[in-house]
Amino acid sequence: MKHLWDTPFLLLILLHLLGAVMSQVNPGVCRYPLGMSGGQILDEDISASSQWSESTAARYGRLDFEEGDGAWCPEITVEPDNLKEFLQIDLRSLHFITLVGTQGRHAGGIGNEFAQMYKIKYSRDGSRWISWKNRQGKQVIEGNRNAYDIVLKDLDPPIIARFVRFMPVTDHSMNVCMRVELYGCEWLDGLVSYNAPAGEQMNSPSYPIYLNDSVYDGAVIYSMTEGLGQLTDGVCGLDDFTHSHVWPGYDYVGWNNESFPSGYVEIMFEFDRTRNFTTMKVHCNNMFSQHVKAFRQVVCYFRSDLDWEASPLSFSPVVDEKNPSARFVTVNLANHMASAIKCHFYFADAWMLFSEITFQSDTAMYNTTLAPPKTGPPNIQPEDDPTHKVDDSNTRILIGCLVAIIFILVAIIVIILWRQVWQKMLEKASRRMLDDELTASLSIQSETFTYNHNPNQSGTTSEQESNSTYERIFPLGPDYQEPSRLICKLPEFAQSSEDPASTSTAASKSTTTTVVQDGVPHYAEADIVNLQGVTGSNTYAIPAVTMDLLSGKDVAVEEFPRKLLTFKEKLGEGQFGEVHLCEAEGMQEFMNKEFLFDIAEDLPVLVAVKMLRSDANKNARNDFLKEIKIMSRLKDPNIIRLLAVCIYSDPLCMITEYMENGDLNQFLSRHEPEGQLAQLSNAPTVSFNNLCYMATQIASGMKYLSSLNFVHRDLATRNCLVGKKYTIKIADFGMSRNLYSGDYYRIQGRAVLPIRWMSWESILLGKFTTASDMWAFGVTLWEILNYCKEQPYSQLTDEQVIENTGEFFRDQKRQIYLPQPVLCPDSLYKVMLCCWRRNTKERPSFQEIHQALLEIQP
Ligand code: ADE
């Protein structure tokens, strides 16, 4: 059998594991993401100077994360001269940071804020903050040019820090949001600072050679204190110190023997904690032709706690006058325990030049190949140890674990894929079943439909327009794609509309795309099935799960003999059909007992008959039949009830109960509040109590719908019907009624949106949930308390309503709320305000709102 270990993949891993191990941080390899995107950095370790809103808090500033509102955004606009705002990351221990990544707020296409520039500040102890500068002394880093691309910037010099702050910089006042990542590895040296005499200038015959520590981040006066710099930047100088990628001598810090009468240079090293030191490696130049040599002796003193150890450690390397190569001189520190080390480096020539000093302590070793950021492989020896060996048993265990993880991952992927395919098949099958079943029922031709009393009317169906190219203008169709266009109307979103990437946004794709924008809880929108009403109505959006339930064979509604319908009058007209008031003979048999108490046994019953044009295309027919399926399952006293259907022959009909007082909007517009004014004008009145009673019934109907996870999407007084004694039933007539065309905002002839009733997230994200129904309920309540005398936001144009939606999104207290109606008590206005809370999770449920209204009702 071919052994697993033989596979090239494992060999690769093995090679990696056995790869060169260096005891010095290697900036070329130390580039691991430190955990903003991967989640290893905890939310509590990400903080910020301020936040725009809860959903743009610091914790949302993780690179490549789309949670919350998509990024960290500071509270206020960033001004060019005001660098107060920052996003701070606490790495919990010192890290060597070589690279940073930034990204703006894209949020599935609705966000377009990013930092064009930024600065970085860092700290090792949380109190002394240092501004990062590049090797030329420039602090500002070029950031993002759009909201979605990740821009990576090398930090040269790298940073050694525990805390890092990103500070957006702008050249003009602008809104900025950021997502960030830090890349590097843990700083295992533990060195917090070194203090040394300032590097000097060597005057060569041709040009001066600056041997100062140009990136030292502590204080430099005559000597360098409390900082780290070139000796810890991971860059080793060349053999010829005059050559460098910056300026001659750049990579070295050097001292002249003449400046040190004692004959040595003292460097003091401070560490983050007491450590057990094994070695110190000093990278020295040895260009003896230029009077530069490595040190001839080093004497190190150790301090643990407060006291310096009495006996120092001394080491004298062989002075090399043959090989001019720069080299690491390794000093064995003999397991001294210390939190500080002070070393005297004795000159061997006129000059002593160091470019790196590293410390090895405890088990701290850098693996330059496969080392994960936080855990160095414990089984690997230093590279210059002649006994350098890999502990085989540990390696095998490690490889075994890796293989196991790979198998588990593959298994998980297979299971996920399999489930998805299976689910899709099931969904398709259930839809096909539904369609087949209904198409089959259509093909059964039976009675011919005639209007008993007005035969001319039968001609209406033939007058209807051709069905071939009817325009889907409903916002609720599956191809509803408009929110992004609306978003573009908001100034700060304007740019994203020009940008092709932002037009392919989640919000604009379809309602089947889940946009996790504000954590709308209810249920995944991906599961919502939209049903477009046929006679111009929407019907509700329901979750696919419910849809599956509904696709069962038993449609709970019976076929009604057409000939028993007598046309009385036209109640309404939609794009795909008409609604007629009819008398239905013998309807009593089709009605539930609850309807029968005030209906004479032998008289015809008044019903509303919704008919599909006989020339409607297959889509419209199927939608009509689906609507029947859904309606037939809705059984609630406050939802319009489907009594029977005529689907054995054309035109397809739905017979619903008739509500004698028409829709609530017209009903209330005809009425006045009780009082003197009404008395004088002799107008019919509706008492405040009855207003509350009607509102409570709407809440109750919505409670029922929401319990089934139905989302109405167009709750408004125009979609509620009024029967006897102020009874209310929720219906859905769609948006094609001329009377209410002003309530719908038409986007370039495509989608039609009831924007004045819509929540900010429905408008901006295309997100329709029970929470957005709740928003619409608040507006409906407002209409009711105004006796439908005024359109919501009547003083605003449609465009201004959309702009106001942007203000709801920004939540900077600039949004305009519908005002408290004159007759509305504070308690009821508070209820409305709850419905319009920005955070969907904070809006009440219909259960709660129903209860609240019951309690308010006098
Ligand atoms: N559809 C349109 N008007 C109606 C009414 N008054 N009752 C029931 N359904 C209707």
Is residue 335 assigned to a domain?
yes
Active site residue 714: yes
Our answer on whether the CB atom of 721 is closer than 6 Å to any ligand 1 atom is: yes
Probe residue for ligand 1, chosen from 571, 737, 739 as the CB with the greatest number of ligand atoms within 8 Å: 571
Residue nearest to atom 8 of ligand 1 (CA): 658
Residue pair 195/216 in contact (Cβ under 8 Å)? The answer is no
Are 207 and 112 within one domain? no
Probe residue for ligand 1, chosen from 634, 639, 721 as the CB with the greatest number of ligand atoms within 8 Å: 721
pLDDT tens sequence across 86-139: 999 999 999 999 999 999 999 888 888 999 999 999 999 999 999 999 988 899
**381 band by pLDDT with thresholds 50, 70 and 90:** very low
Distance 353 CA to ligand 1 centre (A): 94
Is residue 757 assigned to a domain?
yes
Pairing between β-strand 642-646 and β-strand 558-559 as defined by DSSP bridges? parallel
Q: Produce one character per residue of 506-521: b if its CB has 16 or more CB atoms within 10 Å, e if not.
A: bbbbbbebbbbbbebe
Are 587 and 719 within one domain? yes
Our answer on whether the CB atom of 608 is closer than 6 Å to any ligand 1 atom is: yes
Residue nearest to atom 10 of ligand 1 (CA): 608
Distance 400 CA to ligand 1 centre (A): 71
Q: Which of 186, 215, 231 is the last residue of a domain?
A: 186
Is residue 625 assigned to a domain?
yes
Residue pair 85/48 in contact (Cβ under 8 Å)? The answer is yes
pLDDT of residue 737: 77
Are 643 and 693 within one domain? yes
Our answer on whether the CB atom of 579 is closer than 6 Å to any ligand 1 atom is: yes
Ligand 1 atom closest to the Cα of residue 610 is 1
pLDDT tens sequence across 808-833: 999 999 999 999 999 999 999 999 99
Our answer on whether the CB atom of 30 is closer than 6 Å to any ligand 1 atom is: no
Pairing between β-strand 117-123 and β-strand 141-142 as defined by DSSP bridges? antiparallel
Give the torsion through C-alpha atoms of 632, 635, 636, 642, to 10 deg: 30
Judged against a pLDDT cut of 50, whether residue 848 lies above it is answered with: yes
Here the contacts of 449-455 (C-beta below 8 Å, separation 24 or greater) are: 449/562, 449/646, 449/649, 449/650, 449/651, 449/653, 450/562, 450/563, 451/565, 451/566, 451/567, 452/563, 452/565, 452/566, 452/567, 453/566, 453/567, 453/568, 454/567
Judged against a pLDDT cut of 80, whether residue 719 lies above it is answered with: yes
Are 159 and 201 within one domain? no
Distance (Å, rounded) from C-alpha 578 to C-alpha 612? Answer: 7
Judged against a pLDDT cut of 70, whether residue 509 lies above it is answered with: no
Ligand 1 atom closest to the Cα of residue 663 is 6
Ligand 1 atom closest to the Cα of residue 657 is 8
pLDDT tens sequence across 739-788: 888 999 986 555 689 999 999 999 988 899 999 999 999 999 999 999 99
Q: Is the dihedral of CA 611, 615, 616, 618 positive or negative?
A: positive
Our answer on whether the CB atom of 571 is closer than 6 Å to any ligand 1 atom is: yes
HEC readout, 641-694: CEEEEECCCCCCEEEEECCCCCEHHHHHHCCEECCHHHHHHCCCEECHHHHHHH
175 versus 7: the higher-pLDDT residue is 175
Q: Find the CATH number of the domain harbouring 82.
A: 2.60.120.260
Span 28-40, mean pLDDT? 91
Are 290 and 335 within one domain? yes
Distance 656 CA to ligand 1 centre (A): 8
pLDDT of residue 749: 52
Are 648 and 672 within one domain? yes
Could you tell me the residue range of the domain that residue 222 belongs to? 191-388
Q: Looking at 790-834, which runs of residues are DSSP E strands? A: none
Our answer on whether the CB atom of 730 is closer than 6 Å to any ligand 1 atom is: no
Residue pair 612/645 in contact (Cβ under 8 Å)? The answer is no
**415 band by pLDDT with thresholds 50, 70 and 90:** confident
Q: Which of 359, 388, 417 is the last residue of a domain?
A: 388
pLDDT of residue 617: 84
Distance 730 CA to ligand 1 centre (A): 11
Are 213 and 310 within one domain? yes
C-alpha R_g of the chain: 38
Residue nearest to atom 3 of ligand 1 (CA): 571
Judged against a pLDDT cut of 50, whether residue 74 lies above it is answered with: yes
pLDDT of residue 785: 97
Catalytic choice (189, 349, 650, 714): 714
pLDDT of residue 380: 26
Our answer on whether the CB atom of 536 is closer than 6 Å to any ligand 1 atom is: no
Probe residue for ligand 1, chosen from 609, 642, 658 as the CB with the greatest number of ligand atoms within 8 Å: 658
pLDDT tens sequence across 788-812: 999 999 999 999 999 999 999 999 9
Q: What burial class does residue 309 get, using C-beta atoms within 10 Å of its C-beta: 0-12 exposed, 13-18 middle, 19+ buried?
A: middle
Our answer on whether the CB atom of 659 is closer than 6 Å to any ligand 1 atom is: yes
Is residue 692 assigned to a domain?
yes
Share of the chain above pLDDT 90, in %: 55
Our answer on whether the CB atom of 572 is closer than 6 Å to any ligand 1 atom is: yes
Are 127 and 196 within one domain? no
Name the packing angle between helices 770-785 and 826-835 (round to 10°).
150
Using DSSP's 3-state secondary structure scheme, residue 536 falls into coil
Are 141 and 242 within one domain? no
Distance 858 CA to ligand 1 centre (A): 30
Span 641-661, mean pLDDT? 93
Distance 485 CA to ligand 1 centre (A): 34
pLDDT of residue 245: 74
pLDDT tens sequence across 51-61: 999 999 999 99
Judged against a pLDDT cut of 90, whether residue 491 lies above it is answered with: no
Q: Find the CATH number of the domain harbouring 264.
A: 2.60.120.1190
Measuring CA to CA, which residue among 219, 221, 223, 245 is closest to residue 157? 245
Is residue 822 assigned to a domain?
yes
Phi, psi of 694 (to 5 degrees): -70, -40
Q: Find the CATH number of the domain harbouring 588.
A: 1.10.510.10
Judged against a pLDDT cut of 80, whether residue 407 lies above it is answered with: yes
Residue nearest to atom 2 of ligand 1 (CA): 571
**340 band by pLDDT with thresholds 50, 70 and 90:** very high
Span 652-661, mean pLDDT? 94
Distance 572 CA to ligand 1 centre (A): 8
Our answer on whether the CB atom of 582 is closer than 6 Å to any ligand 1 atom is: no
Ligand 1 atom closest to the Cα of residue 662 is 6
pLDDT of residue 518: 35
**453 band by pLDDT with thresholds 50, 70 and 90:** very low
Are 750 and 604 within one domain? yes
Our answer on whether the CB atom of 655 is closer than 6 Å to any ligand 1 atom is: no
pLDDT of residue 364: 54
Report how many domains make up the chain.
3
Structure-token pair, residue 109? 């296409």
Our answer on whether the CB atom of 662 is closer than 6 Å to any ligand 1 atom is: yes
3-state helix, strand, coil in the chain (%, to 5): 30, 25, 45
Distance 240 CA to ligand 1 centre (A): 94
Residue pair 720/667 in contact (Cβ under 8 Å)? The answer is no
Distance 662 CA to ligand 1 centre (A): 6
pLDDT of residue 178: 96
Distance 565 CA to ligand 1 centre (A): 16
pLDDT tens sequence across 567-612: 999 998 877 788 999 999 988 877 766 665 566 677 889 999 999 9
pLDDT of residue 367: 53
370 versus 265: the higher-pLDDT residue is 265
Are 741 and 780 within one domain? yes
- Whole-Å CA distances, 568 to 565, 582, 606: 9, 5, 9
**176 band by pLDDT with thresholds 50, 70 and 90:** very high
Distance (Å, rounded) from C-alpha 48 to C-alpha 300? Answer: 42
Are 794 and 844 within one domain? yes
Probe residue for ligand 1, chosen from 581, 606, 610 as the CB with the greatest number of ligand atoms within 8 Å: 581
Tokens 């004088």: give the residue.
680
Is residue 21 assigned to a domain?
no
Is residue 809 assigned to a domain?
yes
Q: Which of 157, 186, 215 is the last residue of a domain?
A: 186
Is residue 457 assigned to a domain?
no
Mean pLDDT of all residues belonging to the chain:
79
Our answer on whether the CB atom of 658 is closer than 6 Å to any ligand 1 atom is: yes
Distance (Å, rounded) from C-alpha 764 to C-alpha 490? Answer: 10
Distance 661 CA to ligand 1 centre (A): 9
**844 band by pLDDT with thresholds 50, 70 and 90:** very high
